[in-house]
Amino acid sequence: MALARPGLQRASGTGPQSSPRAWALPVAAIVCALALAAYLADLFLHPAGKMLDWYDLNVYNDAGLIARHSPARLYTWQLRPGIKFTYTPFAALGFAAGSLLSWTVLRWLMTVASLAALAGTVWLTFGALGWRGRSRAAAVLGLTAAGLWTEPMQRGLHLGQIEPLLMLLVVWDLCQPDRRWWKGAGIGVAAGIKLVPLIFIPYLLLAGRLRQAAVATATFAGTVAIGFIFLPHASGKYWLTGYVLRPGNVGDAGSLLNQSLLGLVVRAVGSVRAGTPIYYAVAALVAVLGCTAAAVLDRSGRPVAGWLTCALTGLLFSPISWDHHWIWVVPALALFTDAAIRARGAARWAFWALAAVVFAVFGAWPYHYTGPLAFIPQGLLGFFTGRHPQHMKYYLAGAQVIGWNLFVLAGLALLALAVIAAVRIWLAAPGGSGGSIGSRLGRMPSL
């Protein structure tokens, strides 16, 4: 990822001036209000279920009801053939609490909470980048408006997905001051609900944040223990039978909407069985490169770039990364915006161009411009072949390959930028070959 200079991403008041041009904040507020108004208009002008159908929230709610009334069926129940509950027993306990609410209250509460989580994540990210006062408020309003109209956010709202809330929890944890002994607990809880945030633990270890990694690990272990205490049968099924390792429990790994390395490989070779060994090799390489680059960026004074690189690595590494999981692109846009504003000359235009391209790739472009589906967001996934033609997934050619793997290819390109930036930092460190950073990576500070 393109990055600013080392000292500029610490939350130390080194960001843009807190007194921006007088027009910036009211203009940003108007833009955000218009974006939200456009979304509400889109919502109420379409038939029920077109913009919001809360499909995944329905899975959560059903799983919560099962956890309360028939826990032994938690991991044998199917919403429909091939669609099972794949979150942890600890998550099921949380969903059980949610199922106490009426369905109407639950679904609208999730929608409002997701919108708030988007704004909260952007607020925390700009704060970690050193923004303060009116500048921070204006930036948050503007980028929240843009983030609302990304395809991952629109899909997350449509499905009633928990992903925006988990992202907020992880970012909140990472943005806490290092002096707080419980820093890392948020990552542990997030991983206890959905396993992908576990990728942050090796990143924290490599970055020398041993106490935070230990807290995250202990908290995660605590969520597993809580699951065994309250849902012992379901926990045994989930953790001890290999259930947790079966990506097919959530649907077709070769689906257009699975924008992970496994999805790309499966679509390329024609089957999950043939693609899995290739995926293991490629995913291991990506995990090593991504976590190492993230640690180098963190140690060089770029913590936001570090944890965003780690999040990107997790999206690529995870066997299932649905389109709505790519909501991490929103804080990434905050990073690119910050870098563009700080840069000078050609570099500033390069950063703005990068932000524009990323927004275009992940934008919530309408499915149709006329008719009953006018302005319903779909994005550019599968753009060259139409909406999700499953029969074509193993017969892609030319531009279809790009359209069906758009997010994962964009993610690989961004990861390549992050690795290049990390290598340049490494080589520029005192000693000529990353000596200073290399020695720091080799030291394991005490807890």
Token match 């079966």: residue?
Answer: 246
Torsion, Cα 418 421 422 427, to 10 degrees, reads 160
**Helical H segments across 149-209, by residue range:** 151-159, 163-174, 185-193, 200-206
CA distance 21 to 32: 18
pLDDT at 162 over 50: yes
Question: What pLDDT score was predicted for residue 390?
Answer: 67
Question: What pLDDT score was predicted for residue 442?
Answer: 45
Find out whether 191 and 404 touch, Cβ atoms under 8 Å: no
Question: What pLDDT score was predicted for residue 445?
Answer: 35
Mean predicted confidence (pLDDT) in 371-389 = 78
Question: What pLDDT score was predicted for residue 207?
Answer: 97
pLDDT at 410 over 50: yes
pLDDT at 267 over 80: yes
Question: What pLDDT score was predicted for residue 10?
Answer: 44
pLDDT tens by residue, 176-235:
999 999 999 999 999 999 999 999 999 999 999 999 999 999 999 999 999 999 999 999
Question: What pLDDT score was predicted for residue 7?
Answer: 37
Find out whether 339 and 329 touch, Cβ atoms under 8 Å: no
Question: What pLDDT score was predicted for residue 5?
Answer: 44
Q: Quick one: pLDDT band at residue 13, thresholds 50, 70, 90?
A: very low
Angle, helix 346-362 to helix 329-342, in steps of 10 degrees: 160
Torsion, Cα 442 9 156 418, to 10 degrees, reads -50
Give the 3-state secondary structure percentages of the chain, helix then strand then coil, rounded to 5. Answer: 70, 5, 30
pLDDT at 9 over 60: no
Question: What pLDDT score was predicted for residue 252?
Answer: 82
Residues whose CB falls within 8 Å of the CB of residue 189, separated by 6 or more in sequence, listed in order: 169, 219, 220, 223
Angle, helix 329-342 to helix 133-148, in steps of 10 degrees: 140
Written as six digits, the tokens of 79 are: 């919403």
User: What does the domain layout of the chain look like in residue ranges?
Assistant: 43-442
Question: What pLDDT score was predicted for residue 3?
Answer: 56
pLDDT at 321 over 60: yes
CA distance 121 to 140: 9
Find out whether 62 and 79 touch, Cβ atoms under 8 Å: yes
Written as six digits, the tokens of 345 are: 């000359």
Rounded to 5°, angle at Cα 335 from 167 and 134: 95
Q: Quick one: pLDDT band at residue 126, thresholds 50, 70, 90?
A: very high
Q: Quick one: pLDDT band at residue 236, thresholds 50, 70, 90?
A: very high
pLDDT at 441 over 60: no
pLDDT tens by residue, 28-79:
999 999 999 999 999 999 988 899 999 999 999 999 999 999 999 999 998 8
pLDDT at 433 over 60: no
| The amino acid at 55 | Y
**CA separation, residue 246 to residues 179, 225, 276, 374 (Å):** 39, 22, 12, 37
pLDDT tens by residue, 64-118:
999 999 999 999 998 887 778 999 999 999 999 999 999 999 999 999 999 999 9
| pLDDT > 70 fraction of the chain, expressed in percent and rounded | 89
